[in-house]
Amino acid sequence: MLNHNTLDEILNKYPAKEKRNRKKHILIKNITQENQEIEANTRTIPGIISSRGCAFAGCKGVVLGPLKDVVNIVHGPIGCGYYAWLTRRNKGVSKAPMKNFLPYCVSTDMQESDIVFGGEKKLARTIDEVVQIFQPQAITISATCPVGLIGDDIQAVARSAREKYGINVTAYSCEGYKGVSQSAGHHIANNGLTEHVIGAGDMEEAPQKYTVNILGEYNIGGDGWVIKKMLEELGYHIQAVMTGDGSFEELSNAHVAELNLVQCHRSINYIASMLEVKYGTPWLKINFIGIRSTVEALRSLALYFGERELIERTEDYITRELARIEPQLLPYRRICAGKTAFCYVGGSRGHHYQGLYEELGIETILAGYVFAHRDDYEGRQVIPNIKSDSDSKNIPDLHVAPDENRFRLKLSPERAAELKDKIALSTYAGMIQDMKDGSVIVDDLNHFETEELIRILKPDIFSSGIKDKYVVQKMGIPSKQLHNYDYSGPYAGFEGALNFARDVAMSFASPTWNYIEPPWAHRPLLEGTLVKGDMENA
């Protein structure tokens, strides 16, 4: 176990000031302490190798990228767009294959002359060409670093393109230097989608009973499909998924849903809150990763609508599914029992996967987020206590008002009060609450700390992304990528839990590890005895 002395030893490698800084981002869970505080969403220390990305990555890469029938133009030099091209394994199918733009990377490829003379004209020309080639219903423009610096007015370009073509064109000033990580970009994308896209459709009413949106589900490895299938089987209608396998058409009518389900709250909680104000749509935090979480999510959802028949159908479904998968899980559980994990991912998954690990018998002894805020660690109730700083202030909050025509109170205050004790309505718990005494919580874990903590805590498996994957594997420890799932998945729902169990167990059980020690390390391969007489002859 990690104690404060060993932690100090690690941090002593830093200059004094940085040591103080990093110390605030690392916690050892102490159950005798009620509200343990952590620092998060502050600047990355220069020169320390962090896994964080930029606002552009959060905006275009995470939130806008998965919209399949939208052409996402990257306005900037070629690199940024190129690196954000199809790198997230967000799956998408399209009824109209010619309108599935996911495989495309479109960039304005700014050159030195554009930096000097401005890139607005080139952007406008690019839009013309995109309309000509793809004829999309919607276009987004994401700015990368140089754009803001040279003062291109991308909002104006978007506006005139909207007028010229009568299609939905939105611009996002998500230059990479904004905020301190991709988190800033999520917020920027949330603002743009709320202001210009959601509600742009002409539906006035939910098309059927139990209409919900799923927010913060990006369909990595097909997770969204599992969730959708499950909910549809139970009688829900999914209006829009934000944004995995999402489409402009569905998203523009997302205002009609009766409830918003929030999976990855870090990247999308802004939309959830704004839609509540604007259209009166309440939001419910759910987590479809892990068996117990999935059960809880399905129950909360049924309880929200409150109809007997729905509740019963849900219970039946749960019983059936558990009976189906539990026996299949057994062999995997046997392999996984007693193992330990590090779980360092994104802004929600670092928490979401702990339950699933536990269900396999694996204890998470260290967890953290790359770009989360304090509320993701401590729970949503801390938001009023979070001090804003110059970095968070430069991402404007969008203030929305109730929509004159479309606001409907979808949940009475009385019913809301009643439900609040039972389900996670408009709230989420933090990671810290759910962790065991003595476990470690690290914000913005860097490579140096990763290596040191692995040496001390010796986890059996490490969940994170590709940038640390190979460090971990070179240390002889299996890794399980939880950004792109190592080309596997889906991991959501009951089905996904089974896939995850198989993948993790297979990592432990692979014979590969047996060959690390060569046979000659401990004993000679050939054994011989000295036969009398040999010496004389020699």
Partner 1 sequence: MEAIKTMRHSVIENPCHACMPLGAILAFKGIQGAMVIIHGSQGCSTYMRRHISEHYNEPIDVASSSITEPGTIYGGSVHLKKGLDHLIQVYHPELIGILSTCLAETIGEDIARIAAEYTVERDMGAYPLVSVPTPGYGGGHSEGYFLAVRHIIARIARPVPKHHRINVIVPHLTPAEVREIKRIMDLMGVDYILCPDYSETLDSPFARPYQKIAGGGTSLQELAMMGGASATIEMSRCVETHLSPGRYLAGTFEVPLYNSPVPVGIEATDLFVNLLKELTGQPLPDVLQRERGRLLDGMIDSHKYNAEGRAVIFGDPDMVLAVSSICMENGIVPAVAASGVHSKALELEMQTLTAGRTDVATVTETDLAVIRDLAVKAEANIAIGHSDGRYLTEREGIPLVRLGFPIHDRVGGQRLVSVGYAGTMMLLDRITNCLLDSKLSAYRPRMLKKYYSEPSGKF
Q: Contact residues for ligand SF4 (CB under 6 A)?
A: 54, 56, 77-80, 144-145, 175-176
Using CB atoms within 10 A of its CB, is residue 474 exposed (0-12), middle (13-18) or buried (19+)? exposed
406 assigned to active site = no
470 binds, among ligand SF4, partner 1, none (CB under 5 to 8 A by kind): partner 1
Shortest distance, position 79 Cβ to ligand SF4, whole Å? 2
Q: What DSSP designation does 260 have?
A: E
Q: Quote the tokens at residue 30.
A: 């102490």
105 contacts partner 1 (rule: CB under 8 A): yes
407 contacts partner 1 (rule: CB under 8 A): no
Calpha distance 34→130 (Å, rounded): 55
Backbone angles phi, psi at 317, to 5 degrees: -60, -45
179 contacts partner 1 (rule: CB under 8 A): yes
Calpha distance 176→6 (Å, rounded): 36
Shortest distance, position 352 Cβ to ligand SF4, whole Å? 26
- Residue from 34, 46, 414, 421 binding partner 1 (CB under 8 A): 46
Shortest distance, position 312 Cβ to partner 1, whole Å? 46
Region near partner 1 per CB under 8 A, out of 41-49, 221-229, 288-296, 303-311: 41-49
Q: How many CB atoms lie within 10 A of CB 95?
A: 8
**Closest to ligand SF4 by CB, 77 or 350:** 77
Residues 377-396 contacting partner 1, CB under 8 A: 390-391, 394
Catalytic residue among 22, 25, 75, 186: 186
Lookup result for tokens 């670092």: 350
Calpha distance 285→283 (Å, rounded): 7
456 contacts partner 1 (rule: CB under 8 A): no
User: What stretches of 202-276 adopt beta strand conformation (E)?
Assistant: 211-217, 237-243, 259-262
Contacts of 87 (CB under 8 A, 6+ apart): 61, 484
**Closest to partner 1 by CB, 35 or 113:** 113
Catalytic residue among 40, 55, 57, 143: 57
**Closest to ligand SF4 by CB, 252 or 446:** 446
Question: Is 484 within 8 Å of 90 (Cβ atoms)?
Answer: no
60 contacts partner 1 (rule: CB under 8 A): no
Q: How far apart are the first and last CA of the chain?
A: 58
DSSP H helix total and E strand total for the chain? 22, 14
Q: How many CB atoms lie within 10 A of CB 195?
A: 15
Q: How many CB atoms lie within 10 A of CB 363?
A: 16
Residues 119-138 contacting partner 1, CB under 8 A: 122, 125-126, 129-130, 133
Judging by DSSP bridges, how do beta strands 440-443 and 26-28 pair with one another? antiparallel
Instruction: Please work out the total of residues on this chain that contact partner 1, with binding judged by CB under 8 A.
Output: 79
Shortest distance, position 78 Cβ to partner 1, whole Å? 5
55 contacts partner 1 (rule: CB under 8 A): yes
Q: What DSSP designation does 377 have?
A: H
Shortest distance, position 80 Cβ to ligand SF4, whole Å? 3
Question: Is 354 within 8 Å of 343 (Cβ atoms)?
Answer: yes
Q: Binding pattern to partner 1, positions 192-231, x when CB under 8 A?
A: ----------------------------------------
Calpha distance 25→28 (Å, rounded): 10
3-state secondary structure of 440: strand
**Closest to partner 1 by CB, 18 or 358:** 18
**Closest to ligand SF4 by CB, 52 or 333:** 52
- Residue from 335, 456, 471, 509 binding partner 1 (CB under 8 A): 471
312 binds, among partner 1, ligand SF4, none (CB under 5 to 8 A by kind): none
CA angle 500, 463, 287 (to 5 degrees): 60
343 assigned to active site = no
486 contacts partner 1 (rule: CB under 8 A): no
Q: Quote the tokens at residue 198.
A: 């959601």
372 assigned to active site = no
Catalytic residue among 22, 25, 40, 54: 54
Contacts of 3 (CB under 8 A, 6+ apart): 28
Lookup result for tokens 């002409």: 202
C-alpha distances (whole Å) from 197 to each of 155, 171, 248, 385 are 15, 11, 8, 32
Shortest distance, position 281 Cβ to ligand SF4, whole Å? 32
Shortest distance, position 86 Cβ to ligand SF4, whole Å? 16
- Residue from 516, 526, 531, 535 binding partner 1 (CB under 8 A): 516
**Closest to ligand SF4 by CB, 76 or 201:** 76
Question: Is 52 within 8 Å of 371 (Cβ atoms)?
Answer: yes
Region near partner 1 per CB under 8 A, out of 47-55, 162-170, 202-210, 433-441: 47-55
Shortest distance, position 314 Cβ to ligand SF4, whole Å? 43
3-state secondary structure of 373: coil
16 assigned to active site = no
Shortest distance, position 157 Cβ to partner 1, whole Å? 12
Give me the residues paired with residue 425 across strands: 284
475 binds, among partner 1, ligand SF4, none (CB under 5 to 8 A by kind): partner 1
Catalytic residue list:
54, 57, 88, 186
